[in-house]
């Protein structure tokens, strides 16, 4: 088991992120857990709660909004030493405007789940601040979930252009639901992690789905009544029917992926094809695309189209 002294968790003020920060703090080797959060008030409250729950003073708040690339760059500069581990957990359905675009031209849903994390990893590696392992929060939605009657997002070729169309929102000519866009974003992400694993063999890159997890918000893109129904009726029912597990079990999947080297670099682990919880399996055994190195490199390329500095169109000179 590798000794991880310092780990950054993104989206650490709630749900799976906060719970994984708690579990990490209880490991003997842990000296620092960075709570990567966008909202300082929520971050302070989470820090106090985590200190109380663990009796440890290892938590440090790192201001980080993964939808804002300047914030990502500033966060990397603010980390004093190198990190042993990173959990790319922040994410969800993209808030109230999932299809609106950021300055980089990415949809909100893609930016919050993937683009900010891609920049974060690139910047950390560029300055030698990521040493051992990076875990991305995947979702079985990207290969379809039979039990929820959720279809696999339809990709024709997984070419760079097709994957880039997920990022800018033109995919399927915009005719998709927020959940399909989320699933497609997690598909691109799992492929990108495969590519990163081959590009950076000294760092273990793992995609791990927390599995169907209750007790988290995870409903940010849902409208009023559906949101309340989901939280107070559907999720408890799903737990009762064995379709969801608790947040401790979901977060433990991340912690296992971080600390157990038997989870192989480049692989996406998640629930078995006919389950939403339970033991994890290599998702490429369910959807072979995920192990396709050409698709993986296409995802890397597609993402980096949005991270390269854009050429600035010269303004026309003012008329005399
Ligand atoms: N729950 C599940 O069943 C499930 C299943 C598969 C995968 N996942 C994945 O697991 C991850 C965590 O999900 P969850 O259920 O724990 O969700 P959650 O309870 O909604 O927590 C999401 C966390 O991400 C943070 N966040 C959102 N946008 C952010 C941004 N722009 N910058 C920084 N932090 C941001 C939130 O902070 P704020 O409080 O500031 O919004 C919050 O701390 C997500 O990536 C999700 O896709 C969840």
Domain boundaries, the chain: 6-304
What is the Cα–Cα distance from 95 to 44, expressed in whole angstroms? 22
Please name which of 95, 122, 124, 126 lies closest in space to residue 111, comparing C-alpha atoms.
95
To test the pocket of ligand 1, the residue of 49, 68, 90, 243 to mutate (highest count of ligand atoms within 8 Å of its CB) is 90
Of 56-65, 89-98, 291-300, 305-314, which gets the smallest average pLDDT? Answer: 305-314
pLDDT of residue 108: 97
Give yes or no for residue 227 CB within 6 A of ligand 1. Answer: no
Mean pLDDT rounded to a whole number for the chain: 93
H/E stretch holding 270 reads strand 268-271
Give yes or no for residue 214 CB within 6 A of ligand 1. Answer: no
Q: Whose CA is nearest to atom 17 of ligand 1?
A: 218
pLDDT of residue 131: 98
Residue 38: CA count within 13 A, CB half-sphere:
14
Nearest atom in ligand 1 to the alpha carbon of residue 91 is 45
Scanning the structure block, which residue is given the tokens 């379809």? 144
Q: Which residues does residue 133 pair with via DSSP β-bridges, in sequence order?
A: 85, 204
pLDDT of residue 314: 46
pLDDT band at 2 (very low <50, low <70, confident <90, very high): confident
What is the Cα–Cα distance from 166 to 189, expressed in whole angstroms? 11
Mean pLDDT, range 180-205, rounded to an integer: 98
Architecture of domain 6-304: 3-Layer(aba) Sandwich (3.40)
Nearest atom in ligand 1 to the alpha carbon of residue 182 is 47
Of 47-56, 151-160, 240-249, which gets the smallest average pLDDT? Answer: 240-249
Structure confidence by residue, pLDDT tens digits, 124-136: 999 999 999 999 9
Measured CA to CA in angstroms, residue 126 lies from 129, 131, 200, 310, 318 at distances of 8, 11, 11, 20, 40
Q: What is the pTM of this model?
A: 0.94
**pLDDT tops 70 at residue 222:** no
pLDDT of residue 148: 85
pLDDT band at 237 (very low <50, low <70, confident <90, very high): confident
Give yes or no for residue 271 CB within 6 A of ligand 1. Answer: no
To test the pocket of ligand 1, the residue of 10, 15, 137, 215 to mutate (highest count of ligand atoms within 8 Å of its CB) is 15
Give yes or no for residue 212 CB within 6 A of ligand 1. Answer: yes
pLDDT of residue 313: 46
Q: Whose CA is nearest to atom 43 of ligand 1?
A: 11
pLDDT band at 319 (very low <50, low <70, confident <90, very high): very low
Tokens of 285: 């055994």
For 166-201, b/e burial (b = at least 16 CB within 10 A) is bbbbebbeeebebbbbbbbbbbbbbbbbbbbbeeee
Of 29-38, 59-68, 211-220, which gets the smallest average pLDDT? Answer: 211-220
To test the pocket of ligand 1, the residue of 12, 70, 91 to mutate (highest count of ligand atoms within 8 Å of its CB) is 91
134, 85 contact by CB (below 8 A): yes
Residue 182: CA count within 13 A, CB half-sphere:
24
């Amino acid at each position: 088991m590798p000794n991880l002294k310092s780990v950054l968790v993104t989206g650490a003020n709630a749900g799976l992120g906060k719970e994984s920060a708690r579990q990490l703090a209880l490991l003997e080797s842990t000296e620092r857990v960075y709570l990567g959060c966008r909202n300082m008030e929520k971050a302070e409250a989470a820090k106090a709660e985590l200190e109380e729950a663990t009796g440890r003073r290892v938590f440090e708040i790192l201001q980080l909004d993964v939808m804002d690339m300047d914030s990502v760059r500033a966060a990397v500069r603010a980390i004093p030493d190198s990190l042993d581990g990173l959990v790319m957990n922040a994410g969800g359905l993209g808030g109230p405007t999932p299809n609106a675009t950021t300055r980089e031209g990415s949809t909100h849903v893609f930016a919050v789940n993937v683009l900010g994390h891609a920049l974060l990893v690139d910047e950390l590696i560029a300055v030698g601040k990521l040493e051992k392992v990076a875990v991305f929060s995947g979702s079985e939605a990207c290969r379809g979930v039979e039990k929820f009657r959720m279809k696999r997002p339809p990709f024709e070729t997984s070419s760079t252009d097709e994957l880039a169309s997920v990022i800018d929102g033109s995919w399927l000519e915009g005719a998709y639901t927020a959940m399909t866009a989320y699933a497609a974003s997690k598909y691109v992400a799992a492929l990108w992690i495969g590519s990163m694993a081959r590009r950076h063999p000294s760092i273990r890159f793992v995609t791990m789905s927390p599995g169907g997890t209750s007790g988290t918000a995870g409903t940010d893109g849902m409208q009023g009544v559906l949101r309340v129904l989901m939280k107070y009726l559907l999720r408890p029912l799903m737990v009762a029917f064995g379709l969801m597990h608790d947040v401790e079990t979901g977060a433990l999947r991340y912690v296992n992926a971080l600390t157990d080297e038997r989870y192989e670099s480049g692989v996406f682990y998640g629930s078995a094809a006919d389950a939403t919880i339970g033991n994890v399996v290599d998702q490429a055994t369910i959807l072979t695309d995920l192990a396709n190195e050409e698709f993986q490199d296409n995802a890397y390329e597609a993402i980096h189209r949005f991270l390269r500095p854009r050429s600035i169109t010269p303004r026309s000179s003012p008329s005399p």
